[in-house]
Amino acid sequence: MRQPDYLSPPGLATRHERTVSEKLPLPAFSVDLLREGRLLLKLGIGKPTIARMMLQADENGTTVEEELLASGEIVDRLYFEAMADLLGLPFQAEIDADQVHDAERLDTQLVFPQMLRLYHSSRSPITVIVPTLERLGDIASTLDQRPALRQMLAVSTPAAVRKATWAAGRQRRVRDTLARLFDAAPIHSARIVFWGKQGFYTGLGLSLFVTSALLAPFAWLLVTHLLLTGLYFCQLFLRARALLRLKRPAIAPALPPPRAADPSAPLPVYSVFVALYREAEVVSQLIHALDRLDWPRSRLDIKLICEEDDGETLAALEALPLSSEYEIVRVPAALPRTKPKALSYALPGACGRFLTIYDAEDRPDPGQLCEAHAAFLTADPRVACLQAPLVVTNAGAGWLSTMFALEYSSLFRGLLPYLASRGLPLPLGGTSNHFRVDVLNAVGGWDPYNTTEDADLGMRLARLGYLSQMIQRPTFEDAPTETRVWFAQRTRWYKGWMQTWLVLMREPSRLARQMGWKAFATVQILVAGLILSALGHPLIIAFLAYLGWTLTAGDLSTGDTALASGLLLLDVLNLVGSYAIMIQLGCKPMQADERRAVGSKWRAVPLYWLMISAAAWAAIIELYRKPFAWNKTPHMPTAC
């Protein structure tokens, strides 16, 4: 069957007018799609446009209306104004949020914008509705039967309803955001830094540590030395296991069209959250990267989450021609001003079945959503999160970015895939996590008080019985090149890892029962080992220097010489082995051009580890003085 040749009839204007006729071969459409097509003709939409939208709706398992509104070929305001004319109702392009009475159930309009009740002091209340083609006939029939309703109803757009809903509930929603996790499960929240007896045990431990050093310095030195050596060895052993099982990088396989993963079901909506603060310079690059995502526009829900007082970023976004899948969410100013607070604030508005997080500077592989969707469909139902690898693209910009690239490669392409393959907990990265939205809500979302909300959420998922896995298609980003910026970011990370460990260790025996002892031990190596090995790195170097000096001096007895020699050998093996493992675990999964960018700058690893140690010590001070402060990392457009 072919549609006849014609020109778009006069009436509702679309964005792309056509002056020539088109012929489109059409498949056998469902009754519902054909009915939508006939209704769109009544609204003045041209047949070529309808035909294209019907083809896309058939391919994506959506409606013709959804495809039309997402296509950019029609202005939403004109479309719903035409609906209002067809129904004989007034059209209201903007909604005054002051006329909306807030209640918790109001947030349903963020996901399904259908109606709002408006109250005004000088007239009777009216109900603003968002009609759809599916309900158009029922609404028209009801209005014919009850004409008086025309005085009580008006038509608006989904965007206007959402905007008014966000504004009307802003104060209640930000209070809920800050209290949600703490009220539901305070044991999982970092809002209280030291829980119960943790402060007592911390003080007791520090007192014993100092007292032992004063009263029995040799025994203190030996025990401290052995503990640090054991921590380093555990870290070394875990990463060596990952290195032995690591394969050379492979090109990610080609992906089929999104719906091919499950042709029998319509494509789910995929939510994409990006928290933005003082990012005016990179928003254009960000939108370009998000526009390249290989997922139907009609099935995307992209939230650009900004602080309401960040005028520069908001102005930069509003100056861009954002299509209908984008929504700017304004977060009310409230402490703590953190990324997880912004994400949690927007979570009630997530329209998707799946949700991913990106940062302002991210350039995700266009096929990442398709890969994640296909992986979720075939994964164990307990898999709640998929982590995409993060790849640093400016490794050649300086030695600091080279170290960062090695670190990210060893983590996201080395260690995390190994942990995931064994069903062990993953300390997630702060971006490119893909979640099942129902699980994300069930576990309480992000903790607004934790400054490494990613690692915290990964651990919480594991302790509540969920799994995290890896996918292949990466997200590209740039590493800091300035020491000041890097140090502030790393201090925040270590502070967050300390918060995460304190949260995990509130009830250690309960945690071990929930996770299992193997996962519990892995968490101690990953989190506690990471923190203590960073703090103790200067001590290990000092021990090594001291042992070398005493052995060279030759003042030790035979027994002491044997002990000192053994400890020295362990220190050298641990230290050199740790450096070598990081370099090998980082370089092996890199592509050839990445390894060329690293070059000989790997020699700076010892200096880099000392800088990490300094950041870890700074994090302790910051945890005490300002536990919820968020050290903002500035971003610039990529030079790549």
Residues 377 and 464 in one domain: yes
Residues 273 and 146 in one domain: no
Q: Is residue 226 pLDDT above 70, yes or no?
A: yes
Residue 546's CATH number: 3.90.550.10
Structure tokens at 97: 């949020």
Task: Domain of residue 43: give its range.
Answer: 1-74
Structure tokens at 552: 């060279």
The SS3 of residue 356 is: strand
* Maximum average pLDDT range among 21-30, 132-141, 246-255: 132-141
Q: What gap in Å lies between CA 566 and CA 183, rounded to an integer?
A: 52
Q: What gap in Å lies between CA 200 and CA 209, rounded to an integer?
A: 14
Q: Which of 137, 168, 199 corresponds to the end of one domain?
A: 168
Q: Classify each residue of 462-487 as buried b or exposed e, where b means 16 or more C-beta atoms within 10 Å of its C-beta.
A: bbbebbbbbbbbbbbbbbbbeeebbb
Residues 11 and 156 in one domain: no
CA quadruple 194, 195, 197, 200: dihedral, nearest 10: 10
Q: Is the pTM of this model over 0.85?
A: yes
Tell me the CA distances in angstroms from 639 to 278, 283, 363, 432, 559, one per residue in order: 19, 15, 12, 21, 59
Residues 148 and 177 in one domain: no
Tell me the CA distances in angstroms from 265 to 23, 38, 53, 301, 383, one per residue in order: 29, 25, 18, 19, 20
A 10 A CB-CB count for 586 gives: 26
Greatest Cα-to-Cα distance within the chain, rounded to the nearest angstrom: 106
For helices 133-145 and 76-87, give the axis angle rounded to 10 degrees.
30
Q: Which of 168, 183, 211 corresponds to the end of one domain?
A: 168
Note the pLDDT of residue 555.
Answer: 65
Q: What gap in Å lies between CA 603 and CA 408, rounded to an integer?
A: 17
pLDDT, mean of residues 39-61: 89
Residues 310 and 326 in one domain: yes
Residues 421 and 473 in one domain: yes
Percentage of the chain with pLDDT > 90? 70
Structure tokens at 325: 């899948």
Q: What gap in Å lies between CA 447 and CA 340, rounded to an integer?
A: 6
Q: What gap in Å lies between CA 351 and CA 348, rounded to an integer?
A: 8
Q: Are 322 and 287 a contacting pair, CB within 8 Å?
A: yes
CA quadruple 278, 283, 286, 291: dihedral, nearest 10: 140
Tally of CA atoms within 13 A in the half-sphere of 568 that contains its CB: 14
Residues 129 and 265 in one domain: no
Residues 489 and 404 in one domain: yes
Q: How many domains does the chain have?
A: 3
- Helix H or strand E segment including 327: strand 326-331
In 399-541, at which residue ranges do the beta strands (DSSP E only) sit?
Answer: 433-436, 467-470, 475-477
Sheet architecture: strand order including 475-477: 363-364, 475-477, 390-392
| Residue linked to tokens 């800088």 | 611
Q: Which of 56, 74, 92 corresponds to the end of one domain?
A: 74
Q: What gap in Å lies between CA 205 and CA 218, rounded to an integer?
A: 18
Residues 532 and 631 in one domain: yes
Residues 583 and 547 in one domain: yes
Residues 460 and 485 in one domain: yes
Tell me the CA distances in angstroms from 475 to 282, 327, 352, 356, 392, one per residue in order: 16, 22, 21, 12, 9
* φ, ψ (nearest 5 deg) of residue 352: -90, 160
By the 10 Å C-beta count (0-12 exposed, 13-18 middle, 19+ buried), 171 is classed as: exposed
Note the pLDDT of residue 254.
Answer: 65
Using pLDDT thresholds of 50, 70 and 90, give the confidence band for residue 573: confident
Residues 90 and 196 in one domain: no
Q: Tens digit of pLDDT for each residue in 280-322?
A: 999 999 999 999 999 999 999 999 999 999 999 999 999 999 9
Q: Which residues contact 116 (CB under 8 A, 6 or more apart)?
A: 95, 100, 109, 127, 128, 156, 161, 164, 165
pLDDT, mean of residues 542-566: 73
Q: Tens digit of pLDDT for each residue in 312-362?
A: 999 999 999 999 999 999 999 999 999 999 999 999 999 999 999 999 999
Q: Is residue 570 pLDDT above 60, yes or no?
A: yes
